[in-house]
Amino acid sequence: MSRAETVEQAPDVRAPRPLWTLGLLRNELGMTFRRRRTLVLLAVLALVPVLVGIAVRVQTGDGGDRGGPAFISLVTNNGLFLVFTSLAATLPVFLPMALGVVAGDAIAGEAGAGTLRYLLVAPAGRTRLLLVKYTGTLVFCLVATLVVAASALVVGALLFGLGEVTLLSGTTVPLAEGLLRALAVAGVVALSLIGVAALGLFVSTLTGSGIAAMAMTVGVVITFQILNTLPQLHAVQPYLFPHYWLSFADLLRDPVYWDDIRRNLGLQAVYALVFGTAAWARFTTRDITA
């Protein structure tokens, strides 16, 4: 048998691309959630509801100041409201910063470690690798949001108890429905950050330094947050990705107000499309030397 016939009859042992991509995604998720930095970020996020719950408990305890914002009385009446309060406290700063660290390091971290070239040798290709990195970032975003919500639910139940939920519109619903609304709120909060994830991925394709990419992503997020608070920029603020972040509160009304939630999700989709396309254009034409 000739060499040509031997090569022709040799079976193709390479795994199909979809299976290879799933394996790459599993490796990406495993690597992300095994990193000490990721575990520290999740621990800090889980600690925020504990601090908020203790602060509310101390402030509204016997002999304490019973004044303050309206949400304090809602938390003390039902621990489930600590979930909403904690998500509102972490969404403007802590969640975007944690996501910016993970997204900013997605490509730049591989380049800095010298492993990016080896990943591109595999049959997934640059587009699939970029999609895997973005999917891994979105999974972290969802996990981080659920960590905040779960921690707040446990702390709220221990400190204030759980029961029927009085919505912002005054309607009282069973605890089961309140828990479903809390899960929906966590989902909307996670979806509110897909634009930040795409931004971080784009920034990550611009540099070979993971630290620089993280700093740039977090800096852009903070800048947008500041711009969203300036009255002089009220005309452009509806187009800034943080503008509708707190629209999840409309899920606590009966009936639910969907207008701002739709605007928020639509705006995040636009940012994800714009920065995702920019990341793809940059990454697929970039000269990878590391």
Q: Is the dihedral of CA 220, 140, 89, 46 positive or negative?
A: negative
Amino acid 109: pLDDT: 76
pLDDT digit string (tens) for 169-218? 888 899 999 999 999 999 999 999 999 999 999 998 888 777 888 888 88
Amino acid 129: pLDDT: 84
The pTM for the full model equals: 0.85
CA end-to-end span of the chain, whole Å? 43
Three-state DSSP at 115 gives coil
Amino acid 9: pLDDT: 41
Amino acid 96: pLDDT: 92
Amino acid 31: pLDDT: 85
Q: What is the DSSP letter of 16?
A: P
Residues of the chain below pLDDT 50: 1-15, 63-69
Contact 142, 190 (CB under 8 A): yes
